[in-house]
Every structure is written in structure tokens, then in C-alpha cells.
């Protein structure tokens, strides 16, 4: 007859407090996300021709499929 494996004594489950972040604490992240989103919308929607920041059409070609996917006029 084999001996049973050692069983550790059961202990009561411990509770771990969930960290709560206030809306004011999230404000810098929301601002950063908004800036990144606005830059993305600019480069997808308006980086072309007279409104282009970078010369040439490299940025336009890079985001060309996204432009059509989002319904921005292109060609």
C-alpha cells in the first residue's frame, strides 16, 4: 500500500484588493490616446496633396487601404 502524497493544509482564500484608478488619474492617458487618434485620422484622411506634411506620396501609399476602408475620398 502506497503512502498518500503530502497534502498541504488548506488555508482560507486571501482577498486581493482590486486597484481602483480614478477618472482624473486616467486623464493623461485619454489625452495621449486622443492625440494619437487624431494624428492617425490626419494621416489616413488628409495627408495628400496641398495638405501633406511630408513631400511625396509615401505616407499616402502607406495608409492607402485604410483610407478606402474608412471611406475617405482618394481617387
Residue 31 binds Zn ion (CB under 5 A): no
Per-residue cell: 19: 486597484
Residue 24 binds Zn ion (CB under 5 A): no
Which residue's beta carbon is nearest to the bound Zn ion? 74
Residue 74 binds Zn ion (CB under 5 A): yes
Closest to Zn ion by CB, 26 or 70: 70
Per-residue cell: 24: 482624473
Judged by the rule CB under 5 A, the positions of this chain that interact with Zn ion are 74-75
Amino acid at each position: 500500500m502506497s503512502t498518500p502524497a503530502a497534502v498541504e493544509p488548506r488555508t482560507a482564500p486571501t482577498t486581493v484588493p482590486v486597484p481602483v484608478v480614478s477618472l482624473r488619474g486616467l486623464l493623461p492617458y485619454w489625452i495621449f490616446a486622443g492625440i494619437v487618434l487624431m494624428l492617425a485620422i490626419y494621416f489616413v484622411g488628409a495627408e495628400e496633396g496641398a495638405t501633406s506634411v511630408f513631400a511625396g506620396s509615401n505616407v499616402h501609399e502607406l495608409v492607402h487601404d485604410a483610407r478606402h476602408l474608412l471611406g475617405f475620398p482618394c481617387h
